[in-house]
Every structure is written in C-alpha cells, then in structure tokens.
Structure 1
C-alpha cells in the first residue's frame, strides 16, 4: 500500500478526504474527522 498525500476538505457537516489524484477516499461526518487511520 503506497502512502499518498491527501487533502482534507471540511464543511460544517462533512469531511472529504481526497488523494493527490483527486479521488475521494472518504466522506466522513465531522465527528469522525479526527481519525488518523488510513
């Protein structure tokens, strides 16, 4: 599994984790946004 940088885009209710190629890794509720797992 390759570790790729990703951007976390946050709104009031939704967090999107997006990898370096623009693919959405996860759409998480804000309450779970602090997860450090991959």
Structure 2
C-alpha cells in the first residue's frame, strides 16, 4: 500500500480542505443554534 507524504503548505491546504468539507456537511444537520464541544 503506497502512502503519500505531504509537507508544509501542501499538507496544510489538504488538511484544511478536509476539515472544510466535514464542517460543511455537519453545519447543515446541526443548524445555527447548536453549540459544539470540541
């Protein structure tokens, strides 16, 4: 199984894209009035 290792700006932008995708999916289901605890 091959793995791709990203560093610096590439890694940060890929991580941000993943987090943004997750946040967009969750905000639709939770709505604006729900407090999230992280």
Give yes or no for TM over 0.5: no
TM-score, with normalisation over the residues of structure 1? 0.22
- Report which of the two has the higher share of helix: 2
Larger Rg: 2
TM-score, with normalisation over the residues of structure 2? 0.22
- Report which of the two has the higher share of strand: 1
